[in-house]
Amino acid sequence: MSHDLHTSSEGTIFALDIGTRSVVGLIVEPLGDKFRVIDCAIQEHSERSMLDGQIHDIVAVAEVIQQVKERLAEKHGPLTKVAVAAAGRSLRTRRATAEMEIRQHVAFSRDDVLTLEFTAVQEAQAQLAQELNDLDSTRYYCVGYSVVRYLLDDEPIGSLIDQHGDTASVEVIATFLPRIVVDSLLAALKRCDLEMSALTLEPIAAINVLIPPTMRRLNIALIDIGAGTSDVALTEEGTITAYGMVPVAGDEITDALMNAFLLDFPMAEQVKRSLNGNETVTFQDILGIDHTLPSAEIVAAIDGEINKLAQKIAEKILELNGRAPQAVMLIGGGSLTPKLTEKVAGMLELPAARVAVRGADAIQQFVESHPLINGPEFVTPVGIAVAARRHPLKYITVTVNELQLRIFDLRKMNVGDALIAAGLDIRRLHGRPGLAMTVTMNGRMRIIPGEHGTAASITKNGEPVGLDAPIDNEDKIVVIRGTDGKDAQALVADVCGNSPLIELSINGQAVCLEPLVFINGVEQSTETPLADRDQVEIRMPQTIAEALRQTGFHPLEAETLKFRLNGQEFEWPRHEIHLLQNGRPASLQQPIQPGDEIVYEQHPLPLPAIKQVIPPEEWIQEEVHVMFNEQRVAVKTGQLDITMNGNPVTADATLTDGAIITVKALPGKPPVFSDVFRFVEVSLVQPEGSGVMRLITRVNGEDATFQTEIKSGDKLELYWEKSKTSGQ
């Protein structure tokens, strides 16, 4: 009778356990809540085509699968679909953290938490790829992750939802299955014309049938001891927390028997399997000699290898778990190694009853008894069949932004998983917040935040969804990255707050004074945009001058006349200011108080003459110093040359605004006696009633005239003397 295989309740299930030593094939029929094993076929590999759970020779493994398939198909009809499992030893577990600044978040949402968790998973994925020198991190399927802890501002916290703080972080343990493991499985099945109907992980398959959900909160170690490797899986708090592999297993025990008793490999395998349940074992060595020995004596001969196996398993459990678990379950053909359970228990310091071999009898709740299914080596194959029915894990095809992806549905996958598989950076999907701006206001630093970035727009088949939305085959997902927030922008008015106004009176008019704003020392208005690192001072007007300037009563630009004199800038007042504060004369720098009555007047002043504004030092001329009739006299020589705006003028010319004036002294002729008269008062009129007199002029005692040249230091005399003729 032909069965087109599928995993419905009507059809049978073809399950394959592809191990290092052999391939086990089962035909299982669902019967309500149980399963009945209809048939079983076991075929060993003829060469080392498997290594540590990874298919190294696809062609050779496919040949063994084909043999198992054909043997079962002879009795049960064509087999087209198969349930398989990936070895737990091929899994990679990594621990990673992700951190997010949340000081600008109004409140931390469920989507924010998921973004943080998926970011941590991507970090673990990137770490794994880096360790294995793989440029493409999407070559590793995330088959599950668990949150170790959440942190708020570096302190552990139970949940981040609706929390406020500066930083939120999460630490996760993520487990990945290299894509090559799945790809090689698919390739081997394809050569046998088999379609993968369901796929699970070997430890998950075993745990699903051995450990009911009610027990999964316990810390249990599951050890699958095969031929070449011993796989370790740990469960706690309802999830599988860690996987590991020990490259020591049943073959080491077989090798020890070969060396101890000169046996070939098949005979050593036969002796090993006979040790359980038999007091004596008969065998023939490679020399053809028959032996019959007590089982205890044979076990004693290989005690060292059994110790080594137990020690390696115990060390791996302690490494992964950090402590001894509450119980240890051994499955797989190698679990039947004599004294192994008690040795593992001793090394973990557990009671002997806490370490046990679990065989087909442990899965009676799932599988009806069958003469072929009676040992621990069948736990995983049956678990694969059960998983195909109860936990059907398949590939699903989804499209992310027009990129078609085949996602390995190892658990109920969601939108976040699809985005990770597409290689999208989860953290960068949310628009970045705009850059903040820092200003110093009245000596205190203030941070003005940038605008929030918008969340990514995610739709599934046209409907908006979150990262945790489940996905199904043929779903079309479109992700539009959120827009970045604008950088911080603010006017002075936005940050200065409300200041009390100062009310006073100026020239009888009531006015209200507002705060003065200085940005980097320059007065600005409250509508001035701020820039990063601005130094802002905001204060009320303090003096009469500031009050007048703000209210427009004091036009500073019309206050002075400006001119240049011999290259230097000068100013001259244009107005005369009359200022009263509460009836008393005041200066512009006088402090003000609310309620002050200020009277302010400006009276224009006439434009000055050039001689009024020229500083004394600009009038310097050469001088000759002489003594005139015992009086010291300074005689100025030369003359001043004055121009205004390039035109010659006199010192009495009226000054104009912006004028350019030059003043320079020109050298003159040497002074003569008569030049002294310009600087002293002297009468040249003859005294009355004194008779005939003559005017005497002398220079340094020598007779001189009014035209006699003089020089500094000369002694000049001028007086009237009676004429000698008049005395005769």
**What is the residue-wise DSSP string for 425-489?**
-HHHHSPPPPPPEEEEETTEEEEEPPPPPPPPEEEETTEE--TT-B--TT-EEEEEPPPPPPPP-
**DSSP secondary-structure letter at 104?**
T
Inter-CA distances, 573 with 253, 556, 569, Å: 114, 11, 14
Q: Residue 293 pairs with which residues in a beta bridge?
A: 281
Report the CATH architecture of 399-480: Roll (3.10)
For residue 496, the SS3 value is helix
Q: What angle do CA 399, 126, 456 make, to 5 degrees?
A: 45
What does the domain layout of the chain look like in residue ranges?
215-364, 399-480, 492-605, 677-722
**DSSP secondary-structure letter at 608?**
P
Q: Residue 6's pLDDT is what?
A: 36
Residue 617 phi/psi, 5° resolution?
Answer: -65, -20
Strand ranges (E), 638-714:
639-644, 647-648, 660-666, 693-699, 702-703
Q: Do 215-364 and 399-480 share a fold?
A: no
| 10-residue stretch averages of pLDDT, the chain, 728 residues long | 35 82 83 79 66 62 87 87 79 83 73 83 82 70 74 86 85 79 84 83 76 75 83 75 78 89 89 85 90 90 91 88 88 84 91 81 59 68 79 71 73 78 78 84 85 85 87 87 86 77 85 87 86 87 84 64 84 82 86 87 83 69 81 79 86 85 78 83 75 82 86 86 62
Q: Residue 347's pLDDT is what?
A: 92
By the 8 A CB rule, do 433 and 450 touch? yes
Q: Residue 173 pairs with which residues in a beta bridge?
A: 95, 146
Residue 442 — left, alpha, or beta (φ > 0 → left; ψ -120 to 50 → alpha)? Answer: left
Q: At what angle do helices 340-348 and 303-321 cross, to 10 degrees?
A: 40
Inter-CA distances, 711 with 197, 638, 669, Å: 130, 14, 12
On the CB side of 665, CA atoms within 13 Å amount to: 13
Q: Residue 2's pLDDT is what?
A: 30
Residue 475 phi/psi, 5° resolution?
Answer: -65, 145
Q: Residue 334 pairs with which residues in a beta bridge?
A: none
**pTM, entire model:** 0.52
Q: Residue 601 pairs with which residues in a beta bridge?
A: 578
Question: Tokens standing for 715?
Answer: 């002694």
Q: How far is residue 451's CA from residue 447's CA, in Å, rounded to a whole number?
A: 13
Q: Residue 697 pairs with which residues in a beta bridge?
A: 718
Q: Which of 447, 348, 411, 354 is nearest to 200 (CA)?
A: 411
Q: What is the CA radius of gyration of the chain?
A: 54
Q: At what angle do helices 202-210 and 379-390 cross, to 10 degrees?
A: 90
Q: How far is residue 31's CA from residue 12's CA, in Å, rounded to a whole number?
A: 10
Inter-CA distances, 439 with 489, 516, 622, Å: 11, 17, 61
Q: Which of 391, 386, 392, 393 is nearest to 37 (CA)?
A: 386
**Residue showing tokens 């469920």:** 110
> Cβ contacts of residue 241 below 8 Å, gap of 6+?
146, 173, 234, 235, 321
Question: Tokens standing for 121?
Answer: 């998973």
Identify the CATH class of 215-364: alpha beta
Strand ranges (E), 525-654:
535-539, 560-565, 568-573, 575-581, 584-585, 597-604, 622-628, 631-637, 639-644, 647-648
Q: How far is residue 209's CA from residue 233's CA, in Å, rounded to a whole number?
A: 14
For residue 192, the SS3 value is coil
Q: How far is residue 417's CA from residue 436's CA, in Å, rounded to a whole number?
A: 33
Q: How far is residue 287's CA from residue 307's CA, in Å, rounded to a whole number?
A: 29
On the CB side of 440, CA atoms within 13 Å amount to: 7
Q: How far is residue 587's CA from residue 547's CA, in Å, rounded to a whole number?
A: 13
For residue 126, the SS3 value is helix
Query: Strands 693-699 and 660-666, how do they pair?
Result: unpaired
Q: How far is residue 434 CA from its own chain's centroid?
A: 13
Residue-wise DSSP of 563-580: EEETTEEEEEE-EEEEEE
Residue 271 phi/psi, 5° resolution?
Answer: -65, -45
Q: Residue 363's pLDDT is what?
A: 62
By the 8 A CB rule, do 497 and 526 touch? no
By the 8 A CB rule, do 550 and 596 touch? no
The H or E element containing residue 36 is: strand 34-44
